[in-house]
Amino acid sequence: MPPTKQLNIGMSLAPTWLSGDAWLRSDSGVENLFHGEFYLDIAQRAEEAKLDFAFLPDSLFLNTSMLATGAGFASLDPTLLQASIAAGTSRIGLLSTASTTFFPPYIVARQIQSLNWLSKGRAGWNIVTALDGNENFGLPEMPSPEDRYSRAAEFTEVVRRLWQSFPQEALKLDRVNGQFADPDQVNPIDHEGRFYNVKGPLNLPRYDKARIPLIQAGASDAGRAFAASVADAIFASTPDRAAAFDLRKDLRSRAEALGRKGDDIRILPGLSLFLAPTKTEAKELFAETNARVTRQRGLGTVQEMIGLDLTDWPEDRKVTGAALPPPPEKVRSQTHSQLLRRMIERDEPTVVDLLTRPEVVGSAHWLVVGTPADAVAAIKDWAVAGAVDGFVAFPGGSIGSVASFLEEVVPALSELGLFRTAYRGTTFLDHLNDR
């Protein structure tokens, strides 16, 4: 087996360490949730750990039913926040999220390219087709998955062409001859498509030092086809190693079939980390954090994802593949629904066990509840097995998980030769290619 490459590691700045009941802790800092310094501090600590990137997901709706017990989806605008973080950091990549279902492509092209200038080549775009929020954009219902991905493909093409429409080299800034730019090098894109008509050019030159990495989130068949065609990395939900291995294998071969190299697309699962000095304490941290995730909410999630109503089931009854009804016609995410079905067929969990699984409570992310050494062992295991090219860390339970991850797990990975000890490049793309 060839030696395992170094990993690409990002960390979410969405404060998952305040999720569930974690914000109730006296040291949670929840009062600063909507202040920039709160995030800048974490981003600076992630930069000290030499991470590839700091990541901000996004959603464009407010789930008021969650608001009584937690922030739900209330958050600062991710691209504005990354722009403020750009000023206080110098090396770490800054990955923002923008939906192809709700935004116009001209705006996204301009915002992400602006972030690239403000950060001197450290911007990245997490392309999402979004799960919810249609009513905030004049859409009576969410467009079908096929429609959303067709739109995403055209949207991304328009954004890339807009970025090319005004290259930095067109800027002449020639004081002697009085020439600011060469208009012949700045061209409209004249795009007329199924969803968008965009003339261009973009009203901002491209920052030429670095191409902006594209990350994609969503792994249905249509999502994979789209990711294989354009993405530098896929941000994935893979709760078990086999799911990650299969996804990586599939995406690499899809990319190769399109004339790209397998290594051009990196598989970066979300990794939830509940870390403490002992396994017992970590388990307590996980249990305390999720103590108020009500049975009712869990049951609602299961029903929405796979159409199975467990309301009257006893806690200790096993849920088996035979109990699964045909998949509902409409689900928010095919990826998450399929992962839940797969886990039930494989593990046949009891009702009570099912309701604490990552597929139900943790966006189906890879989950480690344990010591920093447990996390290192799990990451090494997945990396050596060829299941991942890196991951996006989501520390949970308390700010202590953030510190343990950055100050213990990451250095231990470096000691194993699985992660850098110093930045070699200055742009986000440099970091992705440094492995």
Ligand X SMILES: Cc1cc2nc3c(=O)[nH]c(=O)nc-3n(C[C@H](O)[C@H](O)[C@H](O)COP(=O)(O)O)c2cc1C
Q: For residues 327-356, which are near ligand X according to CB under 6 A?
A: 333-335
CB of 334 to ligand X, least distance (A): 4
CB of 316 to ligand X, least distance (A): 31
Which residues, 6 or more positions from 333, have their beta carbon under 8 angstroms from its beta carbon? 131, 218, 220
Which residue stretch of 68-76, 84-92, 155-163, 213-221 sits at the interface with ligand X (rule: CB under 6 A)?
A: 213-221
Nearer to ligand X, 189 or 215 (CB): 215
Q: Is 217 in the site for ligand X (CB under 6 A)?
A: yes
Do residues 134 and 162 touch, judged by C-beta distance below 8 A? no
Residue 210's closest CA among 100, 112, 111? 112
Q: Classify residue 391 as left (phi > 0), alpha (psi -120 to 50) or beta.
A: beta
Query: Contact with ligand X (CB under 6 A): which of 70, 93, 223, 362?
Result: 223
Residue 98's closest CA among 140, 128, 142? 128
Q: Is 131 in the site for ligand X (CB under 6 A)?
A: yes
Nearer to ligand X, 247 or 379 (CB): 247
Query: Contact with ligand X (CB under 6 A): which of 83, 85, 98, 130?
Result: 130
CB of 343 to ligand X, least distance (A): 15
Q: Is 97 in the site for ligand X (CB under 6 A)?
A: yes
CB of 17 to ligand X, least distance (A): 17
Q: Pattern 238-277, binding to ligand X, x per CB under 6 A?
A: --------------------------------x-------
Q: For residues 270-329, which are near ligand X according to CB under 6 A?
A: 270
Residue the block writes with tokens 């806690």: 315
Q: Which residues bind ligand X (CB under 6 A)?
A: 57-59, 97, 99, 128-131, 145, 217-220, 223, 235-237, 270, 333-335
